[in-house]
Structure 1
Amino acid sequence: MSAQPLELGAIVLAPGHVQFTVWAPNATDVALHLLTPQERLIPMQQERDGYWTVAVDNVPAGSRYWYRLDREQDLPDPASRWQPDGVHGPSAVADPTRFAWHDDHWRGIRLSELICYELHVGTFTPEGTFTAIIPILPTLVDLGITAIELMPVAEFPGERNWGYDGVLPFAVHHAYGGPDGLRYLVDACHQHGLGVILDVVYNHVGPEGNVLNQYGPYFTERYRTPWGPALNTDGPDSEPVRRFLIENALHWVREYHIDGFRLDAVHAIVDQLPTHILEELAQTLHAEGLRLNRHILVIAESDANDPRIITPRPLGGYGLDAVWSDDFHHALHTLLTGEQHGYYADYGSLEHLARVFRRGFCYTGQRSVFRRRRHGRAALVAQPEQFVVCIQNHDQVGNRARGDRLSTLVDFERLKLAAATVLLSPFTPLLFMGEEYAETAPFPYFVSHTDPELITAVREGRKREFAAFHAEQEPPDPQAVETFLQAKLRHQLRDEGQHRTLWRFYQHLLTVRRQAAPYQTTPRPWPIVEMDRAAHTLVVRWEDVTPAACLALCFADQPQTVHLNLPDGLWHIRVDSAAETWGGNRSADPSPLRVTGGAGASVLLPPWSATFWEREDVP
């Protein structure tokens, strides 16, 4: 390759003048087959390392095209920006320069500011489009959200899918509104002060419509993933594959002004090169952020509890900004529900949640019963904000047999306790769409494949997957349109009864988080964590901030008296989940705690409650 290779795909150099570039080392002849505005077959020039390219005039935006390999097979562009007719149709030229952005002022979201809201475009609104989300953005801002996280939007087969079956990773899904639909949404988010995190899948490609192997060795049999052969990131001819992935991430930043990425299941990416693909990706995106004077976040989803992901590069790590902590979810979920099946077998004790509060992971080398081996490693140099935590997300809800939400599993007091535990933790919180008002619509797995054999395989695969989870339940048919439709949010619930109360409670928690010192201090401090096994309570204290703060969490069925080792001073309650204001039984907030003589204070905690105090600091 040259020092500055041409961008992959159909790149508009000037109106009507387009450069087409594709990596096809398996082919001996490649031609551009233009379908519109008039059909033409144009030979492409072979470059070094298996790349083919040609520049063509009179190709307006929207022109349909294929690449013809070896004079016989027409295929869509692996780096197609637009698939108007889906994964099986021709590609189309998209011209990003025609869009008028209004976000010159925007500088992105810092990790310390991130309050993430995960949503699925297809089920978030009745219309299921990017632009239909825009009218709801003010409500998210009013709630206290700072960034939305879009589940994958790359082109997948059919009209309905979670997005993890994408096969053309540069193309924005046609049913959601295509390229300009995404731009309108991102532009509107930035005007409302919201960042946009995009979920991208670099560990596998979906099974229907995948043409990559017909172009070149994109995959390897040296490693296997749960979804089939792994992407070839470290074997022979892997450099163009790595370039494909990194250029994909850069194109989301440059063409769509995306502010950050959630990298799906990075534990399934195997790379034995000295510079791991994750490190190269993070380094490239951070450099692009410096070039653009914007914050670009790189966040990994991983269940490996591997601190190398977020360890700085000078210390031998990959240098990503943050990583998901599944341990937080599992430890909290088991305490709230009592569930112990599947991977929940490793949790259920208050000690598990205490471990997470102390260092971000629960398992840091201990034996996992579920995995039947040691799991994890301690994150010794990490900061609290580098761990993304939640009590619901698409996986933890959707990978239940029927996609049932926490709102259908526990009572109202436990929902409030869950919210406070997440939002007042020292970590970076993530909400799953609808949880803030106790949405009850399920979020089951759904697809809309066209291959009958694949449809059968998906149905049977889902049944096998639940062998350890809810074995007595039959999962809904993922191919049925009804399965998709039942997942649509009902935003009107937000204004009704306890749903409204919970929404206001979430808003209050996020207001406290914006104001309280533990979440605004840089670097964010690790708390002191004390556990009372007998009372089933967890006390989290921050003493080296001004003002000092304390969070008490009660996971007991009865009121519990606990001793708080608080420094002297007057301590005011900022959050009381059991207060009448939030639908609880406590008619008025208790008086402030006056702590003197280094004796601390004893308090009575209501069952399944969260209480947050701040010390009054007198100059």
Structure 2
Amino acid sequence: MPWKLDLGANCEKSNVSFRIWSPYYDSLSIVLYKQNKKEIVEMNKEDKGYFSLKDKDVEYYSYLIENMEIPDPASRYQPEGVHGKSKVLCENFNWEDKEWEGIDQNNLIIYELHVGTFSERGDFQGVIEKLDYLKNLGITAIELMPVSQFGGKRNWGYDGVFLYAVQNSYGGPYELKRLVNEAHKKGLGVILDVVYNHVGPEGNYLGKFGPYFSSRYTTPWGPIFNYDEAWSDEVRHYVTQNALYWIYEYHMDGLRLDAVHSIYDISPKHILSEISDKIKIAESELKRKINLIAESDLNDPKIISPKEKCGYNIDAQWSDDFHHALHAYATGERDSYYEDFGSIEQIVKALEKVFIYDGVYSNFRKKTHGAPVGDLGGNKFIVYIQNHDQIGNRKDGKRLLNLIDKQNFLILSTLYFMSPYIPMIFMGEEYGEKNPFLFFTDFSDVQLINALREGRKKELGEYYYDPQSDDTYNKSKLSWKIDYEILNFYKNIIKIKKELDHSRNILVKIEDNSLLIERDKLLVVAAFKDSTIHLKKKWKLILSTAEFPEYIEGEIKIGRGAAIYRNAN
């Protein structure tokens, strides 16, 4: 039987069926809006705290809780924002991707973007208008930062409060489907960033209906879902249905699970494993590849290990160690977690072993951290030299190109593209964007706004900027001032990347001030300073960031830069 969402408002021929989990109440009334007429109807009580109702010709609805009208926790659309009525969606979308098979994990080249700042329009249509550009760049999948409804018109998306509702200021549900449809027509996949570790502050009504949140655990960002206490079965259902919802109803090609290190669950079957199992079933039913990616700072291979090795069977995970090693070495920064990084030897380890902290002591954490990845393939790891966190969580919000010069920037780009791992570009990186990516919000709750501002003042000090300001948001938008030297380099190195597999069978060595990487009959030279290198084979140049000899063999003196050579023997 095909999957169908059993929460929220669902259209069934001429009827609309409503279903909600609200165990705090013995009875529950729904407020129905029909052609400007308002009706209050008592719902039918089911087992385990559920309530349901069928009716006709409903346009908007809400639930009556303590004499207040509250939106549906499983609302598909909040056109009036997080405090407004929920909208019933019955129109069908004309999908044109029947033959679409998804993007194979081995072919992933990801482009992370924030819908609101990616284009001048700041909506899904703005992304659609850039799909040809992204296709020509060579990426194979875009990764959207969260689009679930949050308070106001602008936000990173991690303050979402309606998991099922598509952000109204981005264009809502129809426009998101149109974006996915158009991307598929151009051969591009779409991965959606989803947040299952916490819920944002403004418009968060879940706690009024039932024990959706844990009484044991907290996160710095908001209340955490109840995955292992009383009533947790139905909370888990609410979350796993959401994961399936994006796959079945929006044709997403994958999900990026935000900060899974802040998901706490002592159940015999971890929620991540349950999500993975359900996604694998969906993958089989739909006959298309679905990529499940986790963000984790635990350096724990269990997350991506197969079930037979007691893993959660997630397809891939982000590797912050790779970013930190390159960033700290190139910039010289040693504050915060960068105190654990900074040597060229760590870059070698990141290229060969993935995690640098794989069961060794971390000074920053004051404990032993991580575990070895064993024989897991390179396609199990996502690497980057920039992402929304690594830029936006800086006090100054600066991008990498504002911290190092272009030549060093291109050296780092070469290293992460020519690693055995899946590369992820952060929007604008590919053409040398220099605008910052700052933390911005648009809350309406005065008390929340004041607390946010005071917290940011303490955190940022002399770097303080107002997260609620239009100026902060506008500064974070891409300028689209293209440096064609960088853009053309990215296009060319992506072509080379597509020729390679994800085998971790590579040879990396340090010679003078250079890194030499041999893989798949290619030699990658990354010289952070003028160097003298020694080569036993003859190599022919195929791409470089600076003036490099067309052929190299024996003892060679080279200047700063990066180059890729092919075996000429």
- For the superposition of Structure 1 and Structure 2, which TM-score range results when normalised by the shorter chain? over 0.9
Do the aligned residues in 2 keep the contact of 1:512 with 1:574 (CA within 8 Å)?
Answer: no
Determine whether 1:537 maps to 2:514.
Answer: yes
Distance 1:159 1:387, change over 3 A: same
In the TM superposition, residue 58 of structure 1 has moved relative to its aligned partner by 2.2
In the TM superposition, residue 342 of structure 1 has moved relative to its aligned partner by 0.9
Q: Which amino acid aligns with 1:504?
A: N
**Distance (Å, rounded) in 1 between the aligned partners of 2:478 and 2:99:** 33
Determine whether 1:511 maps to 2:505.
Answer: no
In the TM superposition, residue 463 of structure 1 has moved relative to its aligned partner by 3.4
Partner of 2:526: 553
**Distance (Å, rounded) in 2 between the aligned partners of 1:310 and 1:341:** 30
Deviates more, 1:108-117 or 1:219-228: 219-228
Partner of 1:239: 233
Partner of 2:23: 25
Q: What SS is found at the alignment partner of 2:463? A: coil
CA deviation vs aligned residue, 1:495-524 (integer Å, no higher than 9, x gap): xxxx11110010011111123xxx23xx63
Do the aligned residues in 1 keep the contact of 2:158 with 2:195 (CA within 8 Å)?
Answer: yes
**Distance (Å, rounded) in 2 between the aligned partners of 1:325 and 1:591:** 34
Q: Which amino acid aligns with 2:310?
A: G
CA deviation vs aligned residue, 1:305-332 (integer Å, no higher than 9, x gap): 0110110111110000100000111111
**Paired-residue identity, %:** 43
Do the aligned residues in 2 keep the contact of 1:311 with 1:381 (CA within 8 Å)?
Answer: no
Partner of 1:46: 45
In the TM superposition, residue 35 of structure 1 has moved relative to its aligned partner by 2.0
In the TM superposition, residue 31 of structure 1 has moved relative to its aligned partner by 1.6
Aligned residues: 566
In the TM superposition, residue 6 of structure 1 has moved relative to its aligned partner by 6.5
Distance 1:271 1:339, change over 3 A: same
Do the aligned residues in 1 keep the contact of 2:276 with 2:292 (CA within 8 Å)?
Answer: yes
In the TM superposition, residue 370 of structure 1 has moved relative to its aligned partner by 1.1
**Distance (Å, rounded) in 1 between the aligned partners of 2:143 and 2:48:** 36
CA deviation vs aligned residue, 1:561-593 (integer Å, no higher than 9, x gap): 1224x5x5x422222111xxxxxxx2xx52324
Do the aligned residues in 2 keep the contact of 1:384 with 1:526 (CA within 8 Å)?
Answer: no
Determine whether 1:592 maps to 2:565.
Answer: no
Do the aligned residues in 2 keep the contact of 1:221 with 1:229 (CA within 8 Å)?
Answer: no
In the TM superposition, residue 616 of structure 1 has moved relative to its aligned partner by 4.1
Q: Which amino acid aligns with 2:224?
A: A
In the TM superposition, residue 440 of structure 1 has moved relative to its aligned partner by 1.2
In the TM superposition, residue 354 of structure 1 has moved relative to its aligned partner by 1.1
Do the aligned residues in 1 keep the contact of 2:436 with 2:476 (CA within 8 Å)?
Answer: yes
Partner of 2:68: 73
CA deviation vs aligned residue, 1:433-473 (integer Å, no higher than 9, x gap): 0011111111100001111121122122233444xxxx6x3
Correspondent of 1:605 among 558, 563, 566: 558
Do the aligned residues in 1 keep the contact of 2:388 with 2:426 (CA within 8 Å)?
Answer: yes
Partner of 1:64: 60
In the TM superposition, residue 224 of structure 1 has moved relative to its aligned partner by 1.8
List, as ranges, runs of 4+ consecutive aligned residues in structure 1 with deviation greater than 4 Å. none
TM-score of the superposed pair, with normalisation by structure 1: 0.89
**Distance (Å, rounded) in 1 between the aligned partners of 2:507 and 2:452:** 46
Matches within 5 A, 1:234-383: 234-383=228-377
**Distance (Å, rounded) in 1 between the aligned partners of 2:5 and 2:445:** 36
**Distance (Å, rounded) in 2 between the aligned partners of 1:125 and 1:500:** 19
Partner of 1:209: 203
CA deviation vs aligned residue, 1:82-137 (integer Å, no higher than 9, x gap): 00000010100123x51111111111111111110011101111111101211211
Determine whether 1:85 maps to 2:61.
Answer: no
Determine whether 1:502 maps to 2:496.
Answer: no
Structure 1: give runs of 5+ residues left out of the alignment: 579-585, 595-600
Q: Which amino acid aligns with 1:23?
A: W
**Distance (Å, rounded) in 1 between the aligned partners of 2:9 and 2:321:** 43
Do the aligned residues in 2 keep the contact of 1:359 with 1:379 (CA within 8 Å)?
Answer: yes
**Distance (Å, rounded) in 1 between the aligned partners of 2:429 and 2:244:** 32
How big is the alpha-carbon RMSD for the aligned residues of Structure 1 and Structure 2? 1.6
Matches within 5 A, 1:424-573: 424-466=418-460, 473-491=462-480, 493-494=481-482, 499-515=483-499, 519-520=500-501, 524-532=503-511, 535-542=512-519, 545=520, 548-556=521-529, 559-564=530-535, 568=537, 570-573=538-541
Correspondent of 2:92 among 95, 98, 102: 98
TM-score of the superposed pair, with normalisation by structure 2: 0.97
Partner of 1:598: none
Q: What SS is found at the alignment partner of 1:402? A: coil
CA deviation vs aligned residue, 1:28-52 (integer Å, no higher than 9, x gap): 2112211232211222111111111
Q: Which amino acid aligns with 1:65?
A: Y
Partner of 1:13: 12
In the TM superposition, residue 220 of structure 1 has moved relative to its aligned partner by 1.3
